[in-house]
Amino acid sequence: MEELRVDATGLELRLAAAAAVAREAGLLARGLFESGLAATLKSRQDYVTAADARVERFIRARLAALFPGDAIVGEELGGVGSARTWVVDPIDGTANFAHRHPGFAVSIGFLDGGVPAAGAIHVPMTDTLYTARLGGGAFRNAQSIAASACDLPERAYVELGYSPRSPRADYLRTLEALLDGGMLARWSGSAALALAQVAEGSSDGYLELHLNPWDVAAGLVLVREAGGITSDFFAGEGATAGNPLLAAAPAFHPVFANAVMDALAGSPLARPCHGLPGGGH
């Protein structure tokens, strides 16, 4: 992929666009949520509603009008990345949305030369907007946020996401290791929201054994700009096939990563090419 970099003004403009479009799309999603839409299954436990494609079309139209030279990749309508790529999840947490649960979010990330450079996550039901760009800090409703100071497993509140895309045995072994290590683990159904919570310090870490780029493109920038540490999600085939993701508060990261590495020893998911050992931005 050609290594083009947008300049500081270009990145600032894209962050402002991501923020405005994510909020507009979030309010559209909220209206559709309140009107009650039927959900169908793409595959086992993989929901889709008419809102997903509708919100994605809205986001695409806005971004294409503002930045006609940028590529757009979205969960529902696909697309191919380029040197400047928007990565869009119109409704992350579709299972929550489909079950009338408010834990869903709109996620819009921007990759510059394959590097997550700006992102916005809007939580429609609370009208909360998270934003970040490389080198510019992380914000919730324009207030600066930071990852937690947690450094002890017995104090840690983490999230371990799951989908049938990864082996159940690996998930169960990982969950057991986290609980054995004294951590409290939950799974609330939106990776984007979970990453925003690591960034604001209301969660100490997030792990999922397979995620897609649209789940994480915005959240990675938020966590890193809030002082957190993430694995290198876009290593290898991450941009097309996805990867595992580990994200954590800085002092807690080594504890969390070690617990997971032990649990996954021998699993192909622990191979360095998947970026799980973490470290490095």
- Of ligand IPD, Ca ion, none, which one sits near residue 242, judging by CB under 5 to 8 A according to partner kind? none
Residues 60-89 contacting ligand IPD, CB under 6 A: 75, 89
Query: Are the beta carbons of 220 and 230 closer than 8 angstroms?
Result: yes
Query: Is 56 near Ca ion (CB under 5 A)?
Result: no
Least spacing, CB of residue 191 vs ligand IPD, in Å: 3
Residues 220-259 contacting ligand IPD, CB under 6 A: none
Q: Which is nearer to ligand IPD, 21 or 211 (CB)?
A: 211
Least spacing, CB of residue 193 vs ligand IPD, in Å: 8
Ranges of beta strands (E only) in the chain are 39-43, 46-49, 71-74, 84-92, 105-112, 115-123, 128-133, 138-140, 143-144, 157-161, 184-186, 205-211, 229-230, 243-248
Query: Are the beta carbons of 140 and 169 closer than 8 angstroms?
Result: no
C-alpha dist (Å) from residue 111 to 70, 159, 234, 274: 10, 25, 10, 19
Q: Which is nearer to ligand IPD, 39 or 115 (CB)?
A: 39
C-alpha to C-alpha distance for 93 and 106, rounded to whole angstroms: 9
Residue 168 in tokens: 């159940």
Query: Is 161 near ligand IPD (CB under 6 A)?
Result: yes
Query: Are the beta carbons of 90 and 124 closer than 8 angstroms?
Result: no
Least spacing, CB of residue 10 vs ligand IPD, in Å: 28
Burial label, 136 (beta-carbon count in 10 A; 0-12, 13-18, 19+):
middle
Least spacing, CB of residue 189 vs ligand IPD, in Å: 5
| Contact track, Ca ion, 157-196, x by CB under 5 A | ----------------------------------------
Q: Determine which residue in the list 163, 197, 230, 231 makes contact with ligand IPD, applying CB under 6 A.
A: 163
C-alpha to C-alpha distance for 47 and 213, rounded to whole angstroms: 18
Binding region for Ca ion (CB under 5 A) out of 149-157, 161-169, 175-183, 213-221: 213-221
Query: Is 174 near ligand IPD (CB under 6 A)?
Result: no
Which residues of this protein are in contact with Ca ion, per CB under 5 A? 89, 92, 215
